[in-house]
């Protein structure tokens, strides 16, 4: 049996707005096992953004437990949470979040700058390997302005891999991309998942969920559905079905 990378138990998150209490998460529980590719879906107001922030150790639950890789985050200090974020989670955002005047390789090196155990030589080596893994071995010294949207997202994926995290956490990672590029990025995620990398992908797009092995659907702060996808689509196959682009 694969071990649980993520353990969520009776998680609640409440916000006070004026005289009202907003129940963003209403006591939800689930595990994510090593090597899973899980999509968390939900429309606006479903609680998925709150869930994302808690999974990413950017916010703390009001009550309940959240363990990541055997560490309970409930009582951690800000500095300890920052260490968890840097060492155990690889973040990928819709807007790429790359430094504009910085090369691809330097952007990928960034998470390692805060890791005193990694030498300058090792940092550069790991950044090159991560960029090669996402198909950008020939674009090491290009800045974001010299890269397409899909290539910028590949740099962001390489950056998420460079610290060898226990989980990649992707927030609407195809939201700014056209259909063809979205399929290319989802094909890359599927390849990474085949290599054993655990991926949690937050989205509001049902068609994206068909590329993952499991889907969790949130609505009004509750889990409405949690099911395994028995007919996982191949993003590479879906990409091949698209009309050829003119050169």
Q: Is 176 helix (H, G, I), strand (E, B) or coil?
A: coil
Alpha helices in 89-231 (DSSP H): 104-113, 120-133, 149-161, 179-194, 206-209
d(CA 128, CA 150): 18
Indicate the domain borders of the chain: 4-241
Residue 166 near residue 6 (C-beta atoms within 8 A): no
pLDDT score, position 81: 92
DSSP-assigned states of every residue in 69-125: TTEE-TT--HHHHHHHHHHHEEEE-TT----TTS-HHHHHHHHHHT-TTS-HHHHHH
Q: How confident is the model at residue 117 (pLDDT cuts 50, 70, 90)?
A: confident
d(CA 111, CA 90): 9
Q: What is the mean pLDDT of residues 189-201?
A: 95
Buried b (16+ CB within 10 A) or exposed e, 21-50: eeebbbebebebebbbbbbbbbeeebbbbb
- DSSP letter for 188, please: H
Give the dihedral sign, CA 50/98/176/242: negative
200/57 Cα distance (integer angstroms): 14
pTM of the model: 0.92
pLDDT band at 114 (very low <50, low <70, confident <90, very high): confident
pLDDT on residue 1: 61
CATH number of 4-241: 3.40.50.300
Q: Do the strands 63-68 and 71-72 form a parallel or antiparallel pair, or are they unpaired?
A: antiparallel
Two structure tokens written together for 196: 């054993």
C-alpha 229/C-alpha 211 separation (Å) is 9
Return all residues near 111 (Cβ < 8 A) that are at least 6 apart: 86, 159, 162, 163
Helices 179-194 and 149-161: crossing angle, nearest 10°? 20
Give the model confidence (pLDDT) of 145-166 as tens digits.
999 999 999 999 999 999 999 9
Average pLDDT, integer, range 230-238? 93
- Rounded to whole angstroms, what are the CA distances from 240 to 153, 237, 245? 20, 5, 11
């Amino acid at each position: 049996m694969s071990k649980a990378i993520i353990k969520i138990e009776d998680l609640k998150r409440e916000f006070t707005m004026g005289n009202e209490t907003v129940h963003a998460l209403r006591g939800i529980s689930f595990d994510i096992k090593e090597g899973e590719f899980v999509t968390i879906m939900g429309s606006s107001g479903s609680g998925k953004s709150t869930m994302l922030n808690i999974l990413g150790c950017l916010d703390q639950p009001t009550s309940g437990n959240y363990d990541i890789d055997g560490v309970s985050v409930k009582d951690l200090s800000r500095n300890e949470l920052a260490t968890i974020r840097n060492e155990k989670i690889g973040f990928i955002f819709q807007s790429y979040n790359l430094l504009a005047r910085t090369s691809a390789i330097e952007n990928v090196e960034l998470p390692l700058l805060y890791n005193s155990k990694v030498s300058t030589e090792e940092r550069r080596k790991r950044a090159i390997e991560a960029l090669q893994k996402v198909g950008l071995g020939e674009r090491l010294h290009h800045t974001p302005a010299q890269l397409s949207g899909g290539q910028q997202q590949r740099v962001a994926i390489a950056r998420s891999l460079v610290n060898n995290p226990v989980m990649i956490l992707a927030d609407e990672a195809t939201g700014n991309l056209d259909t063809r590029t979205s399929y290319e990025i989802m094909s890359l995620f599927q390849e990474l998942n085949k290599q054993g990398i655990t991926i949690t992908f937050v989205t509001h797009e049902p068609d994206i969920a068909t590329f993952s092995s499991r889907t969790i659907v949130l609505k009004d702060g509750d889990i409405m559905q949690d099911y395994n996808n028995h007919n996982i689509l191949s993003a590479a196959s879906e990409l091949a079905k698209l009309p050829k682009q003119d050169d």
